[in-house]
Structure 1
Amino acid sequence: MDLSSATWRKATRSAHTDCVEVADNLPDIVAVRDSKDPHGPALVFTPTTWRAFVNLARSTA
């Protein structure tokens, strides 16, 4: 999968630490990677699956 046009972003609360980065500017996918390894593998989700994960994470925080 070509992620070369992905725009990666980190959560604002983790600006000075390593964490995950998310690219949600690609059609039909949301990609997630480790900020310490930007050239390493990325996980890819459908937008619906990603929204469900984020909503669940927010509800348990």
Structure 2
Amino acid sequence: AVKFDYLTYDQVLQKGLRVMDAAGIALAKEDHLPIMVLDMGVAGNIKRAAMGEKVGTLIAD
């Protein structure tokens, strides 16, 4: 896997990245909902993401 710091919704769809299904990406794009993709196997990652740390890939406009 390759880690990206930031991707747009369109980049995810164009690259065919399987973060989630295309319909979910399209709905998030339509409603301007950011998506944070992170490794849940690393202890504390969810807390760090919630605190604003960059621990994964942000998918947004």
TM-score, normalised relative to structure 1: 0.30
Q: More strand per residue: 1 or 2?
A: 1
Q: More helix per residue: 1 or 2?
A: 2
Structure with larger RCO (C-alpha < 8 A, sep 6+): 2
